[in-house]
C-alpha cells in the first residue's frame, strides 16, 4: 500500500509490483540540522552578506515578507530565530512589520494569521496582508514589467524575505526574490511578468527562466537586504535553510533542492498517479496544478494522469474557474498566447498537459464541473486507477508521485 495525501488525510493506494516501475520519492541527502536549528545555522553562516544582526541598527523600520497560507512555508518555525536576531541588534518590536505575500491570492482571517506565525508573534508584532491597491510605482524592468510594490515594503529601512524552496513550473524555482515579485506586487505587474511562461526556457528546475530573471530585475528598484529560504522534506520538516544574499543564498538552496527532489528516470509510464502532497498544497485547484505539471514529465504521450487533490476551497481564482469551465483546451492555449490573463495561465498550463495525456481527477469538486473542464471525475483514487487500467491495459506501467508538488521527474 502506498499512502498519498488528500487534504489533511492520507489515503492508501495499491499497485501491483509487476506494474509499478517507481514511487517517486525524494532522494537521500545528508541533513545536518532540522527545524529551527537549521534556520539558526543558516543565520550563523549567511551567504554573500554579513549576518542579519550586523545589517540592521536600532531605530530602523524592518519589514519581513513571508508566504501566505497557500504555501507550506513554516513561518512559525522560521520567524522566531529571525526576530531574536533583530531584537538583539536593538530593533524594537514596534518597528517590525510582518507582511504576508498574497500575490494574487485571497486575504487571511485573524485565525489563519495566528496559525501561520503563532499566537505570541501575532499578538506582539504587526502582521498584515499585502494590498495591491496600496502600492508605489518604482520603475520598469528590462522586459517591461512594472515594479509596483506594496507601500509598507517600499517605506522600510530593511527588507527581509522568507520563503520555502520548491520547483515552479515556469519560474524554475520558488523562493528568493519571488517574495517581492509576485508576492507584494499587483495583478497587472504579475501578468506582465507571467506572460513569459510561454517561453520555451520557462520550465521547472531552470534557474535561468526568463520569468525568474525578470523577477530578479525588480530588485534593482526594490532591494532585498536579506533572505531566509528553507527546503522541506515530505513531512514538511525544515531540513535545509539558506540565508543571506537574495541570489547567492537562493542558488545554494536550489542546488540542495535538486539533490533532494529532482528524480532521474529512464522511461515514461503509461499511468502516473500524482498527489499534490495534501494540505495546504491541495487547498485549491490553482495551487494543486503544480503537481499535475510535474507529473506530465513522467507520463507517456497518450497515457493517463490520475490527479489526486482535494481542493476543499474549489478553484482558488475566479478567472481560473471561468477559463477552466467555459473554454476548450485549444481555446485556452490560443488565448494565453494572444492576451495573457492571470488565472488563465494556470488553465492554459492544464490544457497543455491535456495535449499529452488524459487527466482523471479525484477531488471534492462537483463531477459535472469537472467534466466541463475536459477532465474525468472520480470519487476515489482506486476508481480512477481502475479506469485508467482499463484504458491503458492490465500490464500498463505505473509511476506514483506522493509528493507531486515537490518532486520533479527528469531524464538522463
Please provide the DSSP assignment of 43-71 as one string: HHS-BSS--HHHH--TT--EEEEEE-TTS
- As a whole number, mean pLDDT of residues 333-337 equals 87
- As a whole number, mean pLDDT of residues 130-150 equals 97
- As a whole number, mean pLDDT of residues 338-356 equals 90
As a whole number, the mean pLDDT across the chain is 95
> pLDDT at position 267, please?
96
- 180-227 pLDDT tens trace: 999 999 999 998 998 888 788 998 999 999 999 999 999 999 999 999
d(CA 257, CA 234): 12
Find all residues with CB under 8 Å of 383, minimum gap 6, and list them. Answer: none
pLDDT tier at 13, thresholds 50, 70, 90: confident
pLDDT tier at 336, thresholds 50, 70, 90: confident
- 278-317 pLDDT tens trace: 998 899 999 999 999 999 999 999 999 999 999 999 999 9
> pLDDT at position 412, please?
67
Q: Which residue has the cell 527581509?
A: 160
Q: What pairing do the DSSP bridges indicate for beta strands 146-150 and 135-140?
A: antiparallel
Nearest CA-CA partner of 103 in 170, 216, 180, 172? 180
| CA–centroid distance for 181 within its chain | 13
pLDDT tier at 169, thresholds 50, 70, 90: confident
Extract the runs of DSSP E, i.e. beta strands, from 25-150.
62-67, 96-101, 126-129, 135-140, 146-150
- As a whole number, mean pLDDT of residues 164-181 equals 94
- 363-376 pLDDT tens trace: 999 999 999 999 99
Measured CA distances, 170 to 34, 158, 200 (Å): 29, 29, 9
> pLDDT at position 69, please?
87
- 53-105 pLDDT tens trace: 999 999 999 999 999 987 889 999 999 999 999 999 999 999 999 999 998 78
> pLDDT at position 197, please?
86
d(CA 405, CA 142): 31
> pLDDT at position 101, please?
96
- The reply to whether the predicted model has a pTM over 0.95 is no
Please give the grid coordinates belonging to residue 389: 487500467
> pLDDT at position 180, please?
98
Q: Work out the percent of the chain whose per-residue pLDDT is above 90.
A: 85
- 231-246 pLDDT tens trace: 998 788 999 999 999 9
Range from 162-176, 326-340, 381-395 carrying the lowest mean pLDDT? 326-340
Inter-axis angle of helices 285-295 and 318-326, nearest 10: 60
- As a whole number, mean pLDDT of residues 115-131 equals 96
> pLDDT at position 72, please?
83
pLDDT tier at 411, thresholds 50, 70, 90: confident
> pLDDT at position 106, please?
82
Amino acid at each position: 500500500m502506498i499512502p498519498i495525501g488528500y487534504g489533511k488525510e492520507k489515503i492508501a493506494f495499491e499497485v501491483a509490483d509487476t506494474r509499478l516501475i517507481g514511487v517517486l520519492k525524494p532522494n537521500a541527502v545528508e541533513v545536518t540540522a532540522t527545524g529551527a536549528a537549521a534556520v539558526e545555522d543558516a543565520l550563523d553562516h549567511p551567504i554573500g552578506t554579513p549576518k542579519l544582526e550586523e545589517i540592521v541598527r536600532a531605530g530602523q523600520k524592518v519589514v519581513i515578507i513571508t508566504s501566505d497560507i497557500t504555501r507550506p512555508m513554516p513561518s512559525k518555525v522560521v520567524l522566531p530565530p529571525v526576530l531574536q536576531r533583530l531584537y538583539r541588534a536593538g530593533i524594537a518590536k514596534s518597528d517590525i512589520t510582518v507582511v504576508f505575500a498574497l500575490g494574487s491570492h485571497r486575504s487571511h482571517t485573524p485565525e489563519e494569521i495566528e496559525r501561520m506565525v503563532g499566537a505570541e508573534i501575532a499578538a506582539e508584532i504587526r502582521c498584515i496582508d499585502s494590498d495591491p491597491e496600496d502600492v508605489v510605482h518604482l520603475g520598469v524592468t528590462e522586459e517591461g514589467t512594472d515594479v509596483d510594490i506594496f507601500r509598507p515594503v517600499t517605506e522600510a529601512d530593511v527588507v527581509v524575505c522568507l520563503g520555502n524552496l520548491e520547483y515552479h513550473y515556469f519560474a524554475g524555482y520558488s523562493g528568493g526574490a519571488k517574495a517581492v515579485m509576485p508576492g507584494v506586487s499587483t495583478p497587472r505587474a504579475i501578468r506582465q511578468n507571467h506572460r513569459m511562461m510561454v517561453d520555451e526556457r520557462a520550465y521547472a528546475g531552470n534557474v535561468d527562466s526568463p520569468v525568474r530573471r525578470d523577477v530578479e530585475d525588480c530588485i534593482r528598484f526594490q532591494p532585498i537586504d536579506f533572505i531566509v529560504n528553507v527546503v522541506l522534506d515530505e513531512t514538511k520538516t525544515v531540513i535545509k535553510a539558506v540565508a543571506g544574499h537574495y541570489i547567492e543564498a537562493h542558488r545554494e538552496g536550489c542546488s540542495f533542492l535538486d539533490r533532494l527532489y529532482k528524480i532521474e528516470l529512464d522511461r515514461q509510464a503509461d499511468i502516473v498517479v500524482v498527489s499534490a502532497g495534501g494540505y495546504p498544497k491541495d487547498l485549491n485547484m490553482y495551487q494543486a496544478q503544480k503537481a499535475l505539471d510535474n507529473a506530465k514529465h513522467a507520463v507517456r504521450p497518450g497515457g493517463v494522469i490520475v490527479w489526486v487533490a482535494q481542493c476543499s476551497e474549489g478553484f482558488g481564482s475566479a478567472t481560473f474557474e471561468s477559463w477552466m469551465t467555459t473554454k476548450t483546451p485549444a481555446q485556452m492555449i490560443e488565448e494565453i498566447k494572444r492576451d495573457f490573463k492571470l488565472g488563465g495561465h494556470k488553465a492554459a498550463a492544464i490544457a497543455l498537459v491535456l495535449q499529452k495525456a488524459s487527466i482523471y481527477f479525484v477531488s471534492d469538486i462537483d463531477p459535472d464541473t469537472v467534466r466541463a473542464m475536459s477532465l474525468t471525475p472520480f470519487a476515489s483514487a482506486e476508481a480512477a486507477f481502475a479506469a485508467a487500467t482499463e484504458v491503458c491495459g492490465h500490464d500498463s506501467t505505473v509511476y506514483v508521485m506522493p509528493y507531486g508538488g515537490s518532486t520533479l521527474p527528469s531524464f538522463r
